């Protein structure tokens, strides 16, 4: 074994990759070897640290120093000063909200309030090395399930934990597993939904990039519990790094005998394949996703029958989101009582959010369920930049609701947000300051839905188009009160009559914006123009 | 094909490499790496420390560098910091002395008094 005196972790998550982190890593490796330090210092790529606005991020161990916005021109100084002489390069440290430079994770307000269960390995391990995953407890929960628990005990543990699906709908995971286990069928399937299409959401991508083995482990446990021998991971086609990393992880798991026949010397058999999507938002809807895996057009099916009864090729199929599956290992390993200590009694566990928009620390965070929106935006997110005021937040992605400053103290969990008239959804959190117009935003959301509606059912196909036309009219100042009434009536029709979640949730951002920002809508039709000065 | 026991063995073997990334209170060995230290052979000392730690399978000990403390004529200088105990500063360290420090101070808890420059009370 060679022991390195220092490990340098360079974030290779997609958000840092946009800041050219791979060039940074290559230059660093080159300069370290030119300085003759190649044998003592190990450079590796890791998953997302979460502070994406400050990328590329680099962490030097054993000190744990976080360097931010590292450019190619900074590498020489880091190697010569820090790695050779042990002097920290102060100018590359993150300037926190206080005057003090933030050096290690413990200094960062950004991390202090977070609780990392799903993201426990992101930014810590090399995701392309199964051994590092094993050291951090990877596959231990699966080993425990396989050797010490019956399938029904596994399902009972998941049910007791109170875990709810993290893909948006929030259905109790244990019950879904139980339905699929009880369904009659000679063959059953486990499907991981990684077709993350919600604008402003990239959590599943970053989980897969940072810790692909945790998804394989979650699917193995699910397969054991419901009696499936085959799994599919349906990943968005644009998520090239997720696909590459997961494929490597699947190959390693096969080499280690964790996938295939006779797993770990038992008679359990399970294997995984990746299917990639082609960019349709509707394919994130579970039955459209199943059609797409089968090679058919990605259109939703009628429900019932639900996939648990008749799913992939008409066989009982369990579909879980990436983040849901990432919770399975820790629950089996630590027990449902442990999981219930996190979050709220009605909604246990953590939630991963993607912070974006007008917020200082945009990026990826994981917090206990029930933390207030105010804490997330101001304590973790660092508040609104450039002295502007908070205007609204959209929770749950484009299909989620818009809430105003009155609701800043709403607890961010599934039941509380539903009560507030919005949704926790997939975990996108778009923060908007006072420079933006709600009507203009609503128009943008509708343009997205009109484009993404698959066209199969009339309420959604026609409804999204008509809603967009009405919003365009309102934004241009030519609308009247009747248009707003029509907007509301059509929204209700779509919510009740659309075939799938796309058409059912498309009106939510409009209706919630109408509830919280009625004045702003009315200003647009009374000929006063746009209060924010955005609509032309 | 691996069994559960084999997975456990791999886990234990690979554990050493990852210790560094956990925030623990392990022993820290600081090597002064200013220009003076490097000129006096601090890099060789550091490599000897690392090599000896590998031989003795002590991945929980972190070797870091620091700058010049002003005592350039006593370089290479090595400081051993054991949590809860006084920091011990060694001067004029050679490759062999470095190995002695690992063996007797870090492993057996006996300060190598012949090489000590200073002991900073905890």
What's residue A161's pLDDT?
98
Shared domain for A222 and A314, answered yes or no, is: yes
Confidence of residue A336 (pLDDT cuts 50, 70, 90): very high
Shared domain for A409 and A309, answered yes or no, is: no
Confidence of residue B122 (pLDDT cuts 50, 70, 90): low
Secondary structure, 3-state, A309-336 = CCCHHHCCEEEEEHHHHHHHHHHHHHCH
Shared domain for A218 and A270, answered yes or no, is: yes
What's the maximum distance between 2 C-alpha atoms anywhere in chain A?
75
**A40: chain B residues, CB-CB within 8 Å:** 46-47, 50
What is the tens place of the pLDDT at every residue in A199-221? 889 999 999 999 999 999 999 99
Secondary structure, 3-state, A417-480 = HHHCCCCCCCCEEEEEECCCCHHHHHHHHHHHHHHHCCCCCHHHHHHHHHHHHHHHHHHCCCCC
Shared domain for A267 and A168, answered yes or no, is: yes
B80: contact with A, CB 8 A cutoff:
no
CA A32 to chain B, closest CA, distance in angstroms equals: 15
Nearest CB to A139; choose among B7, B13, B46: B7
Count Cβ atoms below 10 Å from residue B96 Cβ, excluding itself.
Answer: 10
Shared domain for A176 and A303, answered yes or no, is: yes
pLDDT at A99 over 70: no
Most B-contacting residue of A66, A86, A120 (CB-CB within 10 A), to test interface: A86
DSSP, res A411 = B
Nearest CB to B14; choose among A2, A132, A257: A132
Count Cβ atoms below 10 Å from residue B8 Cβ, excluding itself.
Answer: 14
Shared domain for A182 and A254, answered yes or no, is: yes
- Mention every residue, 6+ apart, whose C-beta is less than 8 A from residue B63: A5, B28, B29, B31, B46, B49, B50, B53
> Which of A59, A283, A78 is closest to A167 using CA atoms?
A283
Q: What is the pTM of this model?
A: 0.92
CATH number at residue A99: 3.40.30.10
Domain-located, residue A84:
yes
Most A-contacting residue of B8, B14, B38 (CB-CB within 10 A), to test interface: B14
- Residues A128 and A232: their CA atoms lie apart, in Å, by 20
> Which of A174, A177, A162 is closest to A308 using CA atoms?
A177
Shared domain for A256 and A316, answered yes or no, is: yes
- Residues A208 and A215: their CA atoms lie apart, in Å, by 7
Shared domain for A220 and A310, answered yes or no, is: yes
CA angle B49, B50, B53 (to 5 degrees): 85
Domain-located, residue A530:
no
> Which of A331, A329, A380, A15 is closest to A203 using CA atoms?
A15
- What is the domain partition of chain B in residue ranges? 21-120
pLDDT at B114 over 80: yes
Interface of A with B in 210-269 (CB under 8 A): 256-258, 262, 264-265
Residue with the two structure tokens 């399937």? A189
CA angle B63, B69, B72 (to 5 degrees): 105
More confident residue, A5 or A319: A319
Domain-located, residue A77:
yes
Domain count, chain A: 4
What's residue B19's pLDDT?
79
**What angle do helix axes A203-210 and A212-226 make, rounded to 10 degrees?**
100
Sign, Cα dihedral of A521, A527, A529, A535: positive
What's residue A98's pLDDT?
59
A15 burial (CB, 10 Å; 0-12 / 13-18 / 19+) is: buried
pLDDT at B18 over 90: no
Residue with the two structure tokens 């005196």? A5
Confidence of residue A507 (pLDDT cuts 50, 70, 90): very high
**B50: chain A residues, CB-CB within 8 Å:** 3, 5, 40
What's residue B23's pLDDT?
62
Q: Is domain B21-120 given the CATH code 3.40.30.10 in the classification?
A: yes
A86: contact with B, CB 8 A cutoff:
yes
Half-sphere exposure of A310 (CA within 13 A, CB side): 6
What's residue A104's pLDDT?
84
What is the tens place of the pLDDT at every residue in A406-462? 999 999 999 999 998 888 988 899 999 999 999 999 999 999 999 999 999 999 999
Shared domain for A297 and A166, answered yes or no, is: yes
Residue of chain B nearest A42, judged by CA positions: B17
pLDDT at A142 over 70: yes
ipTM of the complex: 0.79
Mean model confidence pLDDT for chain A: 94
Judged by CB atoms closer than 8 Å, whether chains meet at A62 and B10 is answered as: no
User: What's the length of chain B?
Assistant: 122
What is the tens place of the pLDDT at every residue in A237-249? 999 999 999 999 9
- Residues A291 and A307: their CA atoms lie apart, in Å, by 11
Shared domain for A499 and A377, answered yes or no, is: no
**B59: chain A residues, CB-CB within 8 Å:** 3
What is the tens place of the pLDDT at every residue in B37-47? 989 999 899 99
Shared domain for A423 and A444, answered yes or no, is: no
Owning domain of residue A134: 130-339
**B67: chain A residues, CB-CB within 8 Å:** 85-87
Half-sphere exposure of A251 (CA within 13 A, CB side): 9
Domain-located, residue A433:
no
- The 10 Å CB-count burial string (b at 16+, else e) for A230-264 is bbbbbbbebbebbbebbbebbebbeebbbbeeebb
- Residues A379 and A108: their CA atoms lie apart, in Å, by 10
A132: contact with B, CB 8 A cutoff:
yes
A186 burial (CB, 10 Å; 0-12 / 13-18 / 19+) is: exposed
Shared domain for A377 and A253, answered yes or no, is: no
Mean pLDDT, to the nearest integer, of A356-363?
Answer: 94
CA A181 to chain B, closest CA, distance in angstroms equals: 26
């Amino acid at each position: 074994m060679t022991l390195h005196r220092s490990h340098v972790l360079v974030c290779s998550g997609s958000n840092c990759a946009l800041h050219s982190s791979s060039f940074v890593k290559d230059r660093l490796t080159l300069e370290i070897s030119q300085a003759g330090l190649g044998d003592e210092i190990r450079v590796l790529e890791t998953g997302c640290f979460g502070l994406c606005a400050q990328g590329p991020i680099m962490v030097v161990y054993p000190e744990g120093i976080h360097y931010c916005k590292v450019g190619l021109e900074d590498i020489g100084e880091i190697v010569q000063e820090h790695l050779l002489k042990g002097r920290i390069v102060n100018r590359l440290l993150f300037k926190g909200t206080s005057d003090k430079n933030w050096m290690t994770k413990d200094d960062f307000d950004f991390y202090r309030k977070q609780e990392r269960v799903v993201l426990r390995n992101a930014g810590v391990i090399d995701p392309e090395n199964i051994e590092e995953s094993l050291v951090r407890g990877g596959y231990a929960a699966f080993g425990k399930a396989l050797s010490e628990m019956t399938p029904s005990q596994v399902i009972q543990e998941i049910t007791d934990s109170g875990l709810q699906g993290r893909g948006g709908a929030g259905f109790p995971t244990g019950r879904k597993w139980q339905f699929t286990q009880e369904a009659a069928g000679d063959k059953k399937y486990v499907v991981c939904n990684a077709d993350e299409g919600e604008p402003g959401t990239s959590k599943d991508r970053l989980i897969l990039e940072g810790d692909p083995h945790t998804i394989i482990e979650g699917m193995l446990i699910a397969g054991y519990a419901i009696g499936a021998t085959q799994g599919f991971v349906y990943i968005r086609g644009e998520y090239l790094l997720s696909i590459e990393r997961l494929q490597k992880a699947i190959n390693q798991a096969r080499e280690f005998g964790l996938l295939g026949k006779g797993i770990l010397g038992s008679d359990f058999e399970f294997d995984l394949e990746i299917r990639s999507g082609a960019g349709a938002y509707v394919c994130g809807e579970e039955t459209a996703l199943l059609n797409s895996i089968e090679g058919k057009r990605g259109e939703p099916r009628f429900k019932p029958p639900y996939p648990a009864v008749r799913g992939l090729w008409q066989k009982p199929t369990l579909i879980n989101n990436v983040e849901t599956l990432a919770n399975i290992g820790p629950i089996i390993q630590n027990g449902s009582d442990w999981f219930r200590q996190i979050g709220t009694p009605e909604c246990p566990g953590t939630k991963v959010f993607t912070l974006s928009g007008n917020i200082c620390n945009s990026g990826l965070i994981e917090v206990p369920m029930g933390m207030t929106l105010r804490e997330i935006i101001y304590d973790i997110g660092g508040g609104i930049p450039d002295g502007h005021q908070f205007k609204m937040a959209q929770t749950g992605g484009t299909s989620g609701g818009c809430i105003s400053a009155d609701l800043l103290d709403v607890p961010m969990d599934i039941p509380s947000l539903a009560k507030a008239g919005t949704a926790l959804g997939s975990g996108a959190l778009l923060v908007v300051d006072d420079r933006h117009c709600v009507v203009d935003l609503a128009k943008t959301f509708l343009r997205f839905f009109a484009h993404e509606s698959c066209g199969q059912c009339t309420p959604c196909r026609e409804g999204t188009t008509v809603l967009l036309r009405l919003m365009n009219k309102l934004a241009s100042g030519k609308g009247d009160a009747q248009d707003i009434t029509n907007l509301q009536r059509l929204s209700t029709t779509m919510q009740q009559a659309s075939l799938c979640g796309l058409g059912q949730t498309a009106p939510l951002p409009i209706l919630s914006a109408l509830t919280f920002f009625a004045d702003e809508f009315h200003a647009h039709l009374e000929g006063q123009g746009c209060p924010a000065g955005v609509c032309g | 094909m691996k069994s559960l026991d084999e997975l456990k063995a791999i886990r234990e073997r690979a554990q050493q490499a990852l210790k560094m990334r956990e925030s623990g209170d392990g022993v820290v060995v600081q090597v002064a790496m200013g220009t003076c230290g490097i000129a006096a052979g601090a890099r060789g000392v550091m490599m000897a420390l690392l090599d000896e730690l590998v031989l003795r399978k002590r991945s929980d000990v972190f070797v870091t560098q620091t700058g010049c403390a002003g005592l350039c004529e006593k370089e290479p200088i090595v400081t051993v910091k054991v949590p809860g105990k006084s920091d011990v500063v060694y001067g004029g360290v050679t490759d062999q002395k470095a190995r002695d420090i690992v063996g007797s101070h870090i492993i057996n808890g006996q300060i190598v008094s012949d090489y000590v420059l200073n002991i900073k009370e905890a």
